[in-house]
């Protein structure tokens, strides 16, 4: 089952700011935001701005590598201040990004949470409004005319808080012992991929199906290109599930169009995976097709 995101002004803002709004039970409090100040290779400081109407506020801090989670609670006891230092972050990776949000407890009750907090440049209002409008128009183009329903599966980053696969990883020889492992799906890390994120892609024309000569013999071309809006943010090795024909593509490279270094469109080169690959077992996992 594919649940298409609602087309609302708030959703377009959410798409373009890439602040993200993961599918969580705790509601987002309007205007409750925070900032991230990374100290590379050491820690990450999260600050937020409480409201004066909250009674005896306390806070929980959550972190994830994907906009849709799962998110991990970082603090053992609620925090009373408006600052938290995450000394367990691994933010030195070129492609990996940490996302945070702050949950508010007022007078003993959970009242909501902040928008997603991420280390990114903030646009001035003049450029922000135009970036939102660009994504709004491109989203209409995708949903009504040229796009195909897809689900993005974010790849678990190497060494990002996840454990090696207990089923196929040989910790002594540092290699994978099982080719078709349904615990890590070929990534060697438990889980392999985060929960699916529904979106839309426009794919370019399929490549020529004629076999091409190569040093190894004849090869069937499987590469193509596709594009989507700024959200969800795509990284190399993520998977794109095309809902119409249940074909899975692996992202080989990402080329973005930016407005003052701010992403407004993502163009990716992808490779179609053979139906015999273990990644197709992901279609049977809960939270993928019914994302």
**b/e burial code for range 132-149 (CB count within 10 A of at least 16 → b):** bebbbebbeebeeeebeb
Sorted by sequence, the CB contacts under 8 Å of residue 149 that are 6+ apart come out as 2, 4, 198, 200, 242, 243, 244
Sign of CA dihedral 141, 147, 149, 153: negative
Nearest to 90 by CA among 156, 146, 148, 35: 156
Say whether 173 sits in a helix, a strand or coil.
coil
Domains of the chain, with CATH numbers?
20-113 (2.60.40.10), 125-155+193-284 (2.40.10)
pLDDT tens series, the chain, 291 aa: 555 544 443 333 333 333 334 445 678 888 788 887 777 666 788 888 888 888 889 999 998 887 777 888 999 899 988 889 888 877 655 555 788 999 999 888 888 999 888 876 667 788 878 888 898 999 999 999 999 999 999 988 766 666 888 899 988 888 888 888 998 998 888 888 988 889 999 998 765 666 667 777 777 778 899 999 988 889 899 999 999 999 999 999 999 888 877 788 999 999 999 999 999 999 988 767 766
- The Cα 272–Cα 275 span in angstroms is 9
From first CA to last CA, the distance across the chain in angstroms is 7
Tokens of 162: 């996840």
H helices then E strands: how many in the chain?
Answer: 2, 17
């Amino acid at each position: 089952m594919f649940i298409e995101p609602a087309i609302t002004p708030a959703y377009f803002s959410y798409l373009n700011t890439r602040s993200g709004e993961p599918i969580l039970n705790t509601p987002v409090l309007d205007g409750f935001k925070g900032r991230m100040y990374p100290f590379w290779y050491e820690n990450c400081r999260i600050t937020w701005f409480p409201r004066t109407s909250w009674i005896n506020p306390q806070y929980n801090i959550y972190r994830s590598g994907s906009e849709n989670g799962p998110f991990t609670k970082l603090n053992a006891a609620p925090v009373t201040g408006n600052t938290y230092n995450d000394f367990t972050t691994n933010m030195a990776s070129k492609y990996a990004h940490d996302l945070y949000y702050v949950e508010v407890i007022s007078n003993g009750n959970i009242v909501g949470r902040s928008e997603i907090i991420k280390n990114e440049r903030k646009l001035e209002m003049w450029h922000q409004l135009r970036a939102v409008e660009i994504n709004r128009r491109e989203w209409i183009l995708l949903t009504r005319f040229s796009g195909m329903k897809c689900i993005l599966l974010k790849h678990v980053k190497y060494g990002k808080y996840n454990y090696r696969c207990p089923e196929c990883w040989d910790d002594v020889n540092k290699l994978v012992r099982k080719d078709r492992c349904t615990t890590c799906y070929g990534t060697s890390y438990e889980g392999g991929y985060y929960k699916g994120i529904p979106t839309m892609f426009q794919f370019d024309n399929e490549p020529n199906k004629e076999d091409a000569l190569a040093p190894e013999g004849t090869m069937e071309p499987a590469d193509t290109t596709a594009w989507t809006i700024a959200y969800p943010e795509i990284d190399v090795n993520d998977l794109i599930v095309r809902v119409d024909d249940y074909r899975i593509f692996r992202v080989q490279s990402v080329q973005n169009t930016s407005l003052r270094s701010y992403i407004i469109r993502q163009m990716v080169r992808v490779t179609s995976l053979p139906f015999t690959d273990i990644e197709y077992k992901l279609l049977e996992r809960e939270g993928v097709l019914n994302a």
